[in-house]
Amino acid sequence: MVTSDEDPARVASRLTGRAATGVPVTSGTPTHVVLDDGTPVVVKRGDGRGAVRAEVAGLRWLAAAGAVRVPEVLGHDEHWMVTERVPTGHPGPEAALHFGHALAALHSAGAPHFGAPPPGGPGDAYIGLARMRNAPGVDWPDWYAEHRVLPYVRAAVDRGTLRPDEAALFERVCERLPELAGPAEPPARLHGDLWHGNVLWGADGEVRLIDPAAHGGHRETDLAMLRLFGCPQLDRVLAGYGEAAAPADGWQDRVGLHQLFPLLVHAVLFGRAYAQRALAVAHATVG
């Protein structure tokens, strides 16, 4: 019987059909394993129901755009996935510029609607360890409020991370979203969890993206996520993006608005410090 506690080397062999060394290069998950033919792979266990299916579908949807590179999925089942391992190098200005171009092309590939899951992916997906519901929407401000801000405000209140009276501030932000959101844009094909830890700077000079929470959304959300925790060569990434498809005027003033989603997710997962950051951003957003 296959379980989520299966040995990663055995998983790699079972899902790729190729023998593995049996000795993981690293422990835990994700785990680096070397196949007997010398191919290095990454073995990752899903952390929730449907998590593997969502991640595999997300990687394939991003790859289908022919814009950004992602690790190839070599095999998966309900609990595990095996991908190629990307040798990493140092962030460089040319790689950053090219990444900016590629990210703009990814977003331009579009999505059927806001909240669209990747083809074959579940509506109930994940961002990190948090549940993320992909439900369809036509109007971005209403969709963002209903599916990306208020669910995590309620969850943070339930966990005691936010006080009920503090939740009212986020409700005011949501009420004003139509006037704060900037020009209307079509749904973009988002990575969805684009912090710097999910940006791999390849030794070959090309960036790969990992661990997506892919969905149809507003392209400024990915750009805001890159700025939230810092990203190497960010100025060059944004310069490349601007050369390919400049964001709408005033987008930098809307960064905080788009950062509310990941900050609230972090407040639910990691506690009060992130709730305080989200409150500060919300205060700055509504004045």
pLDDT at 142: 98
Quote the CA–CA distance of 69 and 90 in Å, as a whole number. 17
For residue 30, whether the previous peptide bond is cis, meaning omega lies within 30 degrees of 0, is yes
pLDDT at 248: 97
Q: What contacts 24+ positions apart, CB below 8 Å, involve 19-25?
A: none
- Which positions are catalytic? 193
User: What are the backbone angles phi and psi of residue 207, rounded to the nearest 5°?
Assistant: -85, 140
How much is the pLDDT for 26? 59
Sign of CA dihedral 195, 197, 198, 199: positive
For residue 249, what is the enclosing H or E element?
none
Q: Collapsing DSSP states into helix, strand and coil, what is residue 176?
A: coil
pLDDT at residue 2, as a whole number: 46
Structural domains present in the chain: 8-84 (3.30.200.20), 93-286 (3.90.1200.10)
| pLDDT tens-place values along the chain, 287 residues long | 345 578 889 999 999 999 987 666 555 568 889 998 889 999 999 887 899 999 999 999 999 999 999 999 999 999 999 999 999 999 999 999 999 999 999 999 999 999 999 999 999 999 999 999 999 999 999 999 999 999 999 999 999 999 999 999 999 999 999 999 999 999 999 999 999 999 999 999 999 999 999 999 999 999 999 999 999 999 999 999 999 999 999 999 999 999 999 999 999 999 999 999 999 999 999 97
- Beta pairing partners, 208: 69, 200
Tell me the residue type at 214: A
Largest CA distance in the chain: 60
For the purposes of burial, counting CB atoms within 10 Å of the CB of 167, is it exposed (0-12), middle (13-18) or buried (19 or more)?
middle
